[in-house]
Structure 1
Amino acid sequence: MILTVTLNPALDRTMTVPNFQAGFRHRATGTVILPGGKGINVARAAKALGRPVIATGFIGGRKGDQIVAELNDEGILCDFVRVAGESRISTAVVDSATNAVTEINEQGPEIQPDDLVRLHEKLEYLGKAADAVVFAGSIPPGLDDDCYAEMIQHVRRLGLKSFFYTYADPLRLGIKAHPDYVFPKLVEAERVIGYEFTGVEDRINAARTMREMGAGSVVITYRYGCVAVMAEGDGSRTFVGTIPPVDVVSSLGWGDALVGGFAVRLLEGGSHPECLRFGLGCGAANLIDYGAGVFSPADAERLAERVELEEVSTEA
């Protein structure tokens, strides 16, 4: 089973607005509302692929109730820690003419120290039935930047595989806790390393640096592709992956679908190249659907066969 941890879940409202411009009145041509937050999106992807999954994290208020109700409707098991305050709404406007996405995200509820203690207790309990834990997304107000690092260390003591991605200092500190797999976006990798990358070589070097910082394997994602430095025995293997051309409906959540596909294939016994190829196929399938973590498994398998995956070096 995969356990996903979303510290700051949201009701994700995605609106399609052709030729969107700030400062003007627009009429949406389509709207989708789904429970969201990156960990929940990964859970949705894993569920689509038939893998047992349960989602946890923090929820509060009426919006929290709605998140749980809609996850139940999707058939996604969940067991959240309830907190005072109100879970957030995240709004994304997708310009169907350009595929540009504008996001407006609320902060989320204030988390108290006792709430975090209860989440660690939840990890201890739910971890007994899990094979892997995915930690993903932003942290809400009230939590320290090292909260992910503490949770990664917790599940390592339980002997579980850990998958991790977030931003800024929580990402940097989490990497030092030795997660097995880290999936930073390009811009977040640049922030951790401290400079803007100019090409593939910089991206590969950044992934290697993050391994030196403590990560097991690192997959840096960017617009419809990735570089990956994967732990193999005492060394590593390096790959560059690119998805096939597709007619993009929305780019929201494509990286979450990638992580979900990668984790599912890994737990099925897949090799790192197989996991990368399938993860990219799931991400590509998400691009041609509407909703974060929403895709057809048949599309994912079909597109995975067309993924370009090149091994560029092998370290000793």
Structure 2
Amino acid sequence: MIITVTLNAAIDRTLAVPSFTLGRRHRAVEQTTMAGGKGVNVARALKLLGQPVIATGFAGGATGTRIIEHLTEQSILNDFVRIREESRTSTAVVDPTTGVQTEINERGPRVTEQELALFVDKLLYLAKGAELCVFAGSLPRGVADDFYARMIGELRTLGVECVLDSEGEPLRQGVRARPDLVTPNEPEAEELVGHEFVDPVDRLRALGEIAELGARQAVLTLPDGCIALLEGPGGERELWRATLEPLEPVSAVGSGDAFLAGYIAALYQGRPTPERLAFAVACGAESTQHFGAGTLDPRAVERLVPTVAVERITAAEPLAGIVGGA
């Protein structure tokens, strides 16, 4: 079983608005509303990929009820802690004429110490039957920045693999707890390591820096695929690159969540590294053809997989010290 944790779950509303301009009145030509938050999106994609998954987190008020109802309607197993304050609503505006998207995410509810304690008890109970747990997204108010780090420590002692997909201080502190995998995009990775990336070598070096901070493995997602520092069969570190010509997007909202779901699905199935990366990139790309985060067509994903170029990166001089022993 795979657990996805979404502490700041939401109702996500995505609108297609041609020629979107600030300060103007517009009419949407298409819209969709569904349960959201990064972990929820990952759970949706995993379900579509046929993997055993349960979504958990916080759900509050009428919005929280809608989140649970949406997941139940999609046959996604879920077990959320109900809280007093209202869960958030997030809105994404996609301009189909340019492909530009604008996201507005509400701050979300404040969680009490008692509600947080209930969630910890629930997560530790669910972890007894799980092999892998994904901690994804932002933290609601009232939850300390080190929460992911503490939970990663708890679950690793239970033998549960931990994946972290967050940003800012929760990501920084979470990495120190030695998660099995972190999957930042480029801006998140730059913030984590404390400097901007000027060229491709900077990105590769950043993977080594993330490993030095504590992550066992790291995947940096990019518009055309990803680069990754992963453990080889003998525990040695290997650098990989996977690329795919970007598709003309309908909406890129949640494509990173679909990428992560694809990687986890392939990992859960025991696929070798090149197949995991190709499948992940194909999932992320295919999801851009749909309206709604975490939505994809598994058959279309399989058709894309052979078109993903995956290569092992050898340790040239600028990369000395990144690859090799863990």
TM-score (norm 1): 0.98
SS across alignment from 2:128: helix
Distance 1:136 1:213 in 2: 19
Residues 149 and 174 in structure 1, CA contact (< 8 A), matched pair in contact too = yes
Q: Which residue is equivalent to 1:206? A: 206
Corresponding position: 1:298 with 2:299: yes
Distance 1:83 1:260 in 2: 27
Q: Which residue is equivalent to 1:13? A: 13
SS across alignment from 2:307: coil
Q: Which residue is equivalent to 1:268? A: 269
Q: Which residue is equivalent to 2:318? A: none
Structure 1 residue runs of 5 or longer lacking an equivalent are: none
Q: Which residue is equivalent to 1:258? A: 259
Displacement after TM superposition at 1:290 (Å): 1.4
Cα shift readout 1:192-240 (whole Å, capped 9, x = no counterpart): 1111101211111111111111101100112232110102234211012
Q: Which residue is equivalent to 2:102? A: 102
Distance 1:25 1:51 in 2: 43
Q: Which residue is equivalent to 1:28? A: 28
Write out aligned runs for 1:74-85 (5 A): 74-85=74-85
Q: Which residue is equivalent to 1:241? A: 242
Displacement after TM superposition at 1:108 (Å): 0.8
Displacement after TM superposition at 1:120 (Å): 1.2
- The amino acid of 1:67's aligned partner reads I
Q: Which residue is equivalent to 2:319? A: none
Write out aligned runs for 1:173-212 (5 A): 173-212=173-212
Distance 2:26 2:283 in 1: 32
- The amino acid of 2:50's aligned partner reads G
Q: Which residue is equivalent to 2:135? A: 135
Q: Which residue is equivalent to 2:126? A: 126
State the percentage of identical aligned residues. Answer: 45
Distance 1:70 1:214 in 2: 36
Number of aligned residues: 316
Distance 1:96 1:182 in 2: 31
SS across alignment from 1:65: helix
Displacement after TM superposition at 1:8 (Å): 0.1
Q: Which residue is equivalent to 1:289? A: 290
Residues 244 and 303 in structure 1, CA contact (< 8 A), matched pair in contact too = no
Distance 2:116 2:202 in 1: 37
Distance 1:129 1:264 in 2: 17
Displacement after TM superposition at 1:163 (Å): 1.0
Structure 2 residue runs of 5 or longer lacking an equivalent are: 316-322
Distance 1:175 1:111 in 2: 23
Residues 244 and 308 in structure 1, CA contact (< 8 A), matched pair in contact too = no
- The amino acid of 1:76's aligned partner reads I
Residues 167 and 184 in structure 1, CA contact (< 8 A), matched pair in contact too = yes
SS across alignment from 1:305: helix
Residues 135 and 162 in structure 1, CA contact (< 8 A), matched pair in contact too = yes
